[in-house]
Every structure is written in C-alpha cells, then in structure tokens.
Amino acid sequence: MLVLGMMSGTSADGIDVALARISGAPPNLNAKLLGHTSTKFPDALRKEILRVAEQHPISAGALSQLNFRLGGLFADATLAACRRFRVSPKRISLIGSHGQTIFHQGKPAPYFGAPTPSTLQIGEPSVIAARTGIPTVGDFRPADMALGGQGAPLVPYVDYLLYRHAKLGRVSLNLGGIANITVLPRAAKPQQVFAFDTGPANMLIDALVAHFTRGRQRFDKNAQLAAQGRSNPALLDELMRDPYLKLAPPKSTGREYYGHAYVKKILTLGLRYRATPNDLIRAATIFTTLSIVEALNRFVLRKTKINQLIVSGGGAHNPLILAQLSAALPGIEVVPSSRLGVPEDAKEAFAFALLAYETFHQRPANLPSATGARGPAILGKISYAPPR
C-alpha cells in the first residue's frame, strides 16, 4: 500500500507529511519512506491553536469550527504533498492523520465524581477523507487510554519495527516540542520496550525566542542565540528541580505543563539571576539536554546497556543539544535518524503512516510496556471516503 502519514506536533509549526510504501505484517513488515514535505499553518490560525492548547477559554462552537477548519488544512496538505511527490491521490490507499493535540491528560484526574483521563486531537478526519477521496485513520490515542494507558507515546511501536537490533541496545530520541525516548534493549522483545516523555525539547526554547524577538523568529536556528548566551549554573539547578523529571514512567506531558505559565516562571527566574535573553535561551537549551540525560541515568542506564542514541525531530538540527548529549553520554554514539534511512523531520509523520496501516489491518499497534495500558489496542478510527 501507498500510505500518507500526517503529523502536527506540540509546537504547531505546521503539518508534516510523509509518503510510505508498506507491505507485509509484523515482524516482517516492510516500510520505505518515499518522500516527505511540510506545510506551515497561517500565522493567525497557529496563534489560535496555541491559545486553545494553553487552556484559554473557547466556546463549543469555535472549537467545532477549528476542528473542521484544520481538517480542511490537513486535506490541502495531502493534495499539495501528492503534487510534490507526483503521485495521483487515486494511488494512495490510506492516510494516517495524528491531527493537532489541544489537550492531553494521560493520568486520570477527578472529574464530576470519577477519575477521568482524556485527550483531544482535532483536524476532522471525515473532512480529509471527503476532500481527498482517501480513507483516513485519525484519533489514535483514545483506544489505548480506554485500556488504562496514557495514550502516549505511540511512536515506540514504530521505533521497535525500525530500530530493534540483535546486538546493539538503542534509544530512539525524538526532539519535537516535547522530548520522548523509546528504549530498545539488545534483541528486545515487544514487552521489553519502554518509552516516556522526558520533558521539554523545543517548546521552551521556541517560546523564549518568539518572546524576545517579538515573534520575528520562531526558533533558534543552529543555536545561534544560545551560543551567544552565558551559562548560569544556579538558574539551571533551579530548572532541574522540576518535579516532572523525578516522576517514574510511564509518563507523558505537553503544553498543559510546559506552556505559557512555565515560560513565565523561566522569565521570572531570569530576573532573579540577572540573565540576558540569550542567557535564558541557552539555559532552556541546556535544560532540554540535561533533562534527557537525567531521564537516561535515572530510568534506563542502570538496567539496560545502550550503544546508540538515534535522534530525530526538529531539535536534531540543534548543534548545541547534540554536542551536549555526546559530551554527557560517553560510550553512547549519538546518531541522526537520517543515517538509518528516515530523515529527522519525517520520522513522526512516517510513524503515523505505519500506525494507520496496522489499524487498517485490524492489528494492535500500542506497546503496553510504553503506555501503561492493560493490553493491546487497535488504535484510531477510520473515516471512509465517499464512494467513487
């Protein structure tokens, strides 16, 4: 099958699209990435997505409109990708759309008398299916949560298919808005794989850059601003006291925790420690690295021998993060995912193409050892295209 995977992450930069050719079934599933591209959101719409994801009030009507409007944009991104890849939409068998997360509460919280977990991804799949003529799988997380899982991370299933190795222990690290890791012990069986969100990746860095440049820049290209900042050990010590870092996995986090209020906290700390804007951007960058290293030392390396750290996501282009990871993890080779066949910016969209393929074949694609679910779940909901 030719399958398109689509992803918009916590940073809401835009829609990443990956085209994959997939055949077979696990453990002999064959997947080849044929192309990837991305489409930016209009600025005003991106602001609204971030505003809603920060839990600012929105009416039911406006949320419904946003869901359908994003569905239209995901459909546009599909058709633009088909033109770019020179593939007719009629040749695409399936779309896997993660959608845009605007709320994720992986652990149950009290709600009207019962502990309730919940998650909400928007970007209406029925609109995508109708506009493209391609069956679309969306809403991947709830099936895992219905079985007591956190609904995240879901990419570990794909990491297992792509990266398990008979002789090497590996960790797959994705640096999106949030940093998450998948731990693949040498010759791992599925139940030995575990995964969790380590903390922030680009989210805090991007927010500080946007704040200090008044929106002229969205991210710190090649860590140029961080490189001009000075290290502030006292400020870093304060950030490393973050209670999330000490929580045992399975665990997941997002903009609800590392959003606007957290950035305000960092700005306040900056005043206390007399940090310049670039000092704070440097601190957020090093905090990202140290929180990952802390997670590896605390929850992984004591019990699992790791030979390689495979890095993907936008943060994989940040030379300061990569240099710090290499320096802090002696004996572990830091490898960009492109060296193993999947470009850093295509990994998550590619993953949702694979997850959709498994859903279409009615096979479970969560890893309970990663999400904490009671058992396997067939993920997602299928929106069928209108009859041709």
Domains of the chain: 2-152+345-383 (3.30.420.40), 157-340 (3.30.420.40)
Q: With the CA atoms of 40, 45, 50 and 54 taken in that order, what torsion angle do they form, in degrees rounded to the nearest 10?
A: -160
Name the band, by pLDDT with cuts 50, 70 and 90, for residue 9.
confident
- Structure letter (DSSP) for residue 133: S
Rounded to an integer, the average pLDDT of 1-18 is 93
Condensed to tens digits (0 to 9), the pLDDT of residues 328-385 reads 999 999 999 999 999 999 999 999 999 999 999 999 999 999 999 999 999 999 999 9
- pTM attached to this predicted model: 0.92
Would you say residue 11 has pLDDT above 90? no
Would you say residue 56 has pLDDT above 90? yes
Condensed to tens digits (0 to 9), the pLDDT of residues 195-224 reads 999 999 999 999 999 999 999 999 999 999
Please give the mean pLDDT across all residues of the chain.
96
| Runs of H (alpha helix) within the chain | 43-53, 60-85, 125-132, 142-146, 156-163, 202-212, 224-228, 233-239, 255-258, 260-272, 277-299, 319-328, 347-360, 368-371
Tokens of 54: 């920060």
Rounded to an integer, the average pLDDT of 108-117 is 96
H or E stretch covering 19: strand 14-23
b/e string for 304-329 if b means 16 or more Cβ within 10 A?
Answer: bebebbbbbbbbbbbebbbebbeebb
Name the band, by pLDDT with cuts 50, 70 and 90, for residue 28.
confident
pLDDT of 13: 84
CA distance 83 to 89: 9
CA distance 111 to 116: 6
pLDDT of 232: 95
Condensed to tens digits (0 to 9), the pLDDT of residues 120-165 reads 999 999 999 999 999 999 999 999 999 999 999 999 999 999 999 9
Condensed to tens digits (0 to 9), the pLDDT of residues 113-131 reads 999 999 999 999 999 999 9
